[in-house]
Amino acid sequence: MKFLDQAKIYVRSGFGGAGSVSFRREKSIEFGGPNGGDGGKGGDVWAVANQDLNTLIDFRYRQHFKAPTGQHGMGRDRTGADGEDTIIELPIGTQIFDETGEHLLADMLEHGEKMLLAKGGNGGWGNTRFKSATNRAPRRANPGEPGEEYQLWLKLKLIADVGLVGLPNAGKSTLLSAVSAANPKTADYPFTTLHPSLGVVDMGASERFVMADLPGLIEGAADGAGLGHQFLGHAERCMSIIHLVDGTQENPGEAYTTIRKELEDYADIFKDKPEIVALNKCDALDVETIKARAAELAKACGAKVFTVSGVAGIDVKPLMSAAFQHVEASRKADKEARLARLKADARKQAGLEPETEKWRP
C-alpha cells in the first residue's frame, strides 16, 4: 500500500431546502389559509478519526466532499427532509489546517474523535410561518441558507511508540524487519526508504509496541533539505526514539551530532524526548573497532550505547527491551494524566472546588 501524509481537499456543506408557498384547498373550508412547510437543513461535513487507517492515499483519488441539499418544503405543512451528513474518515494523528496551511484547526488523536468541518445551511421558512392577524394569506417563503465551503490541508503525523532515526543507510529498515513482521525495502544504497514504515514489536503475550522506520535524514533537514520536514513531523509524535548510527563509517560521533542537531532545530520537544543510541552493523567490525567507535559515540551522546547488528540479529533484544521500558513509562504517565483530567472534569461538573495540585483548566 502506498503512503501519503499530506493532501488538500475541498469540502462544502449542503444548502438548506427552500420553504413552500401553499394554501389549503379543501372544498368544505371557505377560507383555507397557508400551509406551506419549511425546507430541510443541509447536510454537515464531519471528519472522524479511524484507527484502521494509516495513510491519506485515498485523498489522491478523491479531493471533493459535498454534502447533499436539504429537501424543499411542501404543502400540507410538510417539512422537507434534512440532507445526510458527509463523513470523512481520517487516520489517527491527522492534523487539519486551513487553506494557507498555517493555522491548525484540529488534531485527530483518538479513535472516533469527530470534528465539524462545514455546517449545513438551515432550511427556509414556508409561508405558514408568516401568517398573522393582519396577513392571513402570506405569499412569501424563504430560500434555504447556503452551506459553507472551504479548502483544507490534511497532514498526517504517525503516532508510533518508538521512532527509528539516523543518517541514510544506517540500517533502520533492516532492524525493523528483524524485530517485526514488517517488510520494508532494503538495499545497500542511501535513501532506500522513501516513506515511513510501521511494524509491531512483540515483547511477550501482552507486551508490544509500534515502531516506525523514518526515512534517512541529512544535514539541513530541519530547514527542508532532502526529505526534510516531511518525516521530522512523524518523529515528533513518537514516545521515544532509537538513534541508529552506522558503525562502519569513520566518525560515528559526528554522524550522531548531525542528526541530533536537526532534531533539536526542528522542535524543542526532542530535547526532553527519551533517546536510545545504538551502533549498528557491528557484525562487519572486529572487537577492537567496536569498542573504539562505541566509546566515541558514547562521548558524543553522553549516554550508554548499544552495539547491535540488525541483519545478524546481534543484541537486538536488549535494545528492544530498553525501548519498551520508555514506552511503558510513557503509557503510565499518559494514563495518570487522563485519569486526572477526568477526575477534574467530574469535580467541575459537580460544582466542587478543584484539587489544586492536580487541576488543569
Q: For residues 147 and 67, is the Cβ–Cβ distance under 8 A?
A: yes
What is the spatial distance between Cα 216 and Cα 218, in angstroms, rounded to a whole number?
A: 7
pLDDT in tens, 94-107: 889 999 888 888 88
Specify if 45 maps to a domain.
yes
DSSP per-residue letters across 94-124:
EEEE-TTS-SEEEE--STT-EEEEEPPPPPP
What is the spatial distance between Cα 165 and Cα 147, in angstroms, rounded to a whole number?
A: 45
Q: Give the residue numbers spanning the domain of 148.
A: 1-156
DSSP secondary-structure letter at 269?
G
Is 312 found in the same domain as 235? yes
What is the spatial distance between Cα 359 and Cα 353, in angstroms, rounded to a whole number?
A: 10
Is 326 found in the same domain as 221? yes
Specify if 122 maps to a domain.
yes
Is 140 found in the same domain as 41? yes
Is 246 found in the same domain as 137? no
**Cβ-based neighbour number of residue 265 at 10 Å:** 14
Is 243 found in the same domain as 106? no
Is 211 found in the same domain as 134? no
Listed residue (79, 70, 71, 69) closest to 22, CA to CA = 79
Domain boundary among the residues 136, 156, 176 is at: 156
Q: What is the CATH number of the domain that holds 324?
A: 3.40.50.300
DSSP secondary-structure letter at 67?
P
pLDDT in tens, 237-246: 788 888 888 8
**Count of domains forming the chain:** 2
What's the pLDDT score for residue 216? 58
What is the spatial distance between Cα 225 and Cα 217, in angstroms, rounded to a whole number?
A: 9
For the chain, the first-to-last Cα distance in angstroms comes to: 42
What's the pLDDT score for residue 356? 46
Specify if 347 maps to a domain.
no
Is 111 found in the same domain as 14? yes
Is 213 found in the same domain as 170? yes
What's the pLDDT score for residue 359? 37
Is 210 found in the same domain as 89? no
| 3 state DSSP class of 214 | coil
Is 323 found in the same domain as 189? yes
Residue 31 is which amino acid?
F
Domain boundary among the residues 156, 174, 193 is at: 156
Give me the average pLDDT of each 10-residue run along the chain (361 residues): 73 95 85 90 94 82 93 93 94 88 86 91 93 90 93 82 82 83 61 66 77 68 50 73 87 86 80 87 87 89 87 86 86 75 70 48 39
Specify if 351 maps to a domain.
no
